[in-house]
Amino acid sequence: MLRFLVRRLLMTVLVVAVTSVVAFSLVHLSGDPAAAMAGEGASPADVESVRKTYGFDRPLPEQYVTWLKRVFEGDFGRSHYLRASVAQVLADHAPITITLGALAIAFAVLLSIPLGVLAALYPNTLVDRLAVGLAVGGQAVPSFLFALLLIYIFGVTLRVLPISGSGSWAHFVLPAIALGYYATPAIMRLTRSGMLDALQSDHVRTARAYGLPAWRVIIKHALRHAMIPVVSLIAVQLGFMLGGSIVIETVFALKGVGYLAWQSIQRSDIEVIQAILLLIAAAYALLTLAADVLNGAIDPRIRVG
């Protein structure tokens, strides 16, 4: 188990290291950062002075190392537009996105896994078709349209839920449903196919032949196996949500990381963009690690050699 953990942890560090290079390069190679920061009306002299001040005149590898050193010290730099430390800016926006992502994935999991199991228990029946239909609806309807529909029904017509802002838990209900619904089809389908396989496996037949109650066979001996790929998928989906959904955050006026990233790109606020890219990559890598560890706990063949 320890060797397994150490190996996965090393992989995670490598992935983050590589993405830090990519994140840094992308920002610095897509146009001249000094010109972008100085603004449209700036004179060549102004651009030159910006270049000097921010160190853009140094060779790129050197800039990268300097940036990485600061990051290791916990200093992500300053937002030149917001005139605040990047750490502070992120601390303002991240909790909203994390809350939204966690609620959305919880909604997606609670909806799609029971639907997937149900569909697999009654394959090719009306139950199956309805479950698949309900889940796939999430993929077919564009998320902004679904979000607007939710707003219209629950916010405008029924007036039961707030539709904008992040003042209370109630504010997160509609955006979490809108964002989570988008993740349901993939999770549901993977659960369904995993369950179909698991229910036909020999050890499930054994469990049935030894008189174990149906629900125990389904949960303990089938669902556990079906969950292995699903856990990995959920980790990726959650990573995607933590990256911030610009559409959902915009529709519900939530000032989260997605919104911040979009704004920062428009403002050429490169220190903020770099930090967001790095953090999203780290979140993805950590979630993947968590999924691997969880899968190791689910299936001993993964952890015990």
Residues that bind other proteins (CB under 8 A): 201-203, 205-214, 216, 220-221, 224-225, 298-301, 304
Output 40 or 202, the one with its CB closest to other proteins.
Answer: 202
Q: Is 292 exposed, middle or buried (0-12, 13-18, 19+ CB in 10 A)?
A: buried
Q: How far is the CB of 203 from other proteins (least distance, A)?
A: 4
- The enclosing H or E element of 47 equals helix 44-54
Least spacing, CB of residue 211 vs other proteins, in Å: 4
- Residue 86: name the closest of 71, 65, 68, 69 by CA: 71
The residue (of 70 and 203) whose beta carbon lies closer to other proteins is 203
Overall size of the chain counted in residues: 305
C-beta of 83 vs 301, nearer to other proteins: 301
Minimum CB distance to other proteins, residue 124 (Å) = 10
Closer CB to other proteins, 2 or 158, in the complex:
2
**Which is closer to other proteins, CB of 72 or CB of 210?**
210
To other proteins, the closest distance from the beta carbon of 286 in angstroms equals: 25
> CA-CA distances (angstroms) from residue 303 to 1, 6, 165, 297?
5, 12, 44, 8
Calpha distance 11→2 (Å, rounded): 14
**H/E element, 246:** helix 246-251
Closest distance to other proteins from the beta carbon of 182 (Å): 31
265 touches 33 (CB < 8 A)? no
The answer to whether 173 touches 181, Cβ cutoff 8 Å, is no
Tokens read off for 160: 């039961």
Q: How far is CA 119 from the centre of its chain?
A: 26
CB of 223 to other proteins, least distance (A): 11
**298, 228 Cβ separation under 8 angstroms:** yes
Q: Between 70 and 205, name the residue whose CB sits nearer to other proteins.
A: 205
Helices 86-121 and 170-199: angle between axes, nearest 10 degrees? 40
d(CA 252, CA 34) in angstroms, rounded, equals 34
| Distances 257 to 13, 36, 59, 183, 252 between C-alpha atoms, Å | 23, 22, 30, 19, 14
Tokens of 95: 């909790």
Smaller CB separation from other proteins, 72 or 215: 215
Q: Are 280 and 264 in contact (CB under 8 A)?
A: no
Give me the residue label for tokens 């992500």: 76
CB of 123 to other proteins, least distance (A): 8
CB nearer other proteins, residue 52 or residue 224: 224
Q: Residue 216 Cβ, how far from other proteins at the closest point, in Å?
A: 8
